[in-house]
Amino acid sequence: MTERLKLGDFGHAGDDVIVPFQVEALDVRGRAVQLGPMLDTMLGRHDYPEPVARLLAECVVLTALLGSSLKFDGKLILQTQSDGPVDMLVADFAARGAMRAYARFDEDRLARAQEEGRISPEQLLGTGVLAMTIDQGAHMQRYQGVVQLDGTSLEEVARTYFRQSEQIPTEVRLSVARQVLPEAGGRSSWRAGGMLAQFLPEAPDRMRLPDLPGGDGESEAAEPVHLDDAWAELLALFSTIEPDELFDPTIGTERLLYRLFHERGVVVFPGQVVADDCSCSREKISAILDGFSDDEIAESVEDGEIRVNCEFCSKEYRFDPAEFTGADGE
């Protein structure tokens, strides 16, 4: 039986812990998280320009909120491919709480965008697609859902994804900040937070939402669809969240949940720790190189060795080309 805890029964979950919650009176379930040291280490390793780091941090928070819903030993991978200065974001979440992420960007285009003040997430991404892939492990088929990136925020893209692919009313809030730490000699540190709520009533008809603009459901004769009162209340409460409340450690996830839902009664469940933990290994990279032809191995050699850097954690692996030559003849 899942342990149920009421607010006040325990101390704050703190940083880098995903907190599931339920508001039974509103038929809402959700998850909230504040990311601190884990995120700061992940972003600091790559020394990304600030606009790129902010965008990737949003992606990491969203991936944590989505991935923590996995009920099996698998992995959720969130990836964008677009035509903006930041043309790729990748973040994945393993069921045990291990996370990794990286961003790819064009330095020249990013510099021009910064000069022109075009550094909102929507402007940095541009148009393209966002794919959410669920890897259920060996011998299991992957599931992938794709939604268009059309100049909207990651928050809005997530809402659209659940509305189109899962038919589940979903609300998401994300926030990122770079805070200066006086106690650390003025060093800055990255923090981020987010909250996701889903409307899951027993009666499916209550989950109906108005059609998206331009959708097939639009018709002059169509009967208007009104939001369920409980979901409308949730949206109203979410609209009161200030950006800093999502990541401020002096507020904490539980205190924010209490402020939002104390009149309705909110229950929190034991949290899940998330960690900066890359799954790369020498064995995995060696297995990839084993599939290279002799010509491909020869082209990969530099100064007498093959060097491979993990794009996620920046760890370098070095190999002797002799380990792989002759593969064509086997």
Residues with Cβ within 8 Å of 78's Cβ and at least 6 positions away in sequence, in order, are 59, 62, 63, 66, 89, 90, 91, 92, 130, 131, 132, 133
The band of 14, judged by pLDDT with boundaries at 50, 70 and 90, is confident
Which of 60-64, 70-74, 138-142: highest mean pLDDT? 60-64
Could you count the other beta carbons within 10 Å of the beta carbon of residue 86? 27
In this model, does residue 217 exceed pLDDT 60?
no
184-201: average pLDDT: 88
In this model, does residue 289 exceed pLDDT 80?
yes
94-102: average pLDDT: 91
Q: What percent of the chain has pLDDT over 90?
A: 58
Residue given tokens 């200030």 in the structure block: 242
Whole-angstrom distance, CA of residue 36 vs CA of residue 171? 23
| Runs of H (alpha helix) within 102-225 | 107-115, 121-125, 154-161
The band of 293, judged by pLDDT with boundaries at 50, 70 and 90, is confident
In this model, does residue 223 exceed pLDDT 80?
no
286-306: average pLDDT: 88
| Runs of H (alpha helix) within 162-309 | 229-238, 252-261, 282-290, 294-300
| Runs of H (alpha helix) within 68-170 | 107-115, 121-125, 154-161
The confidence score (pLDDT) of residue 141 equals: 79
Taken as a whole, the chain contains a residue count of 330
Whole-angstrom distance, CA of residue 51 vs CA of residue 117? 11
In this predicted model, which residue has the larger pLDDT, 5 or 267?
267
Domains in the chain with CATH codes: 5-217+225-276 (3.55.30.10), 282-329 (3.90.1280.10)
The band of 7, judged by pLDDT with boundaries at 50, 70 and 90, is very low
249-262: average pLDDT: 93
The confidence score (pLDDT) of residue 226 equals: 65
The confidence score (pLDDT) of residue 185 equals: 66
CA angle 188, 42, 311 (to 5 degrees): 135
The confidence score (pLDDT) of residue 291 equals: 86
Could you count the other beta carbons within 10 Å of the beta carbon of residue 65? 24
The confidence score (pLDDT) of residue 9 equals: 46
The confidence score (pLDDT) of residue 222 equals: 45
255-261: average pLDDT: 95
The confidence score (pLDDT) of residue 262 equals: 93
The confidence score (pLDDT) of residue 209 equals: 57
Whole-angstrom distance, CA of residue 55 vs CA of residue 17? 21
Amino acid at 133: T
In this model, does residue 272 exceed pLDDT 70?
yes
Query: How does pLDDT run across 123-155, given as a tens digit for each residue?
Result: 999 999 999 998 877 677 788 889 999 878 899
Q: Which of 66, 58, 15 is nearest to 273 (CA)?
A: 15
55-77: average pLDDT: 90
Query: How does pLDDT run across 29-51, given as a tens digit for each residue?
Result: 999 999 999 999 999 999 899 99
The confidence score (pLDDT) of residue 186 equals: 67
Which of 81-85, 176-180, 211-215: highest mean pLDDT? 81-85
The confidence score (pLDDT) of residue 219 equals: 44
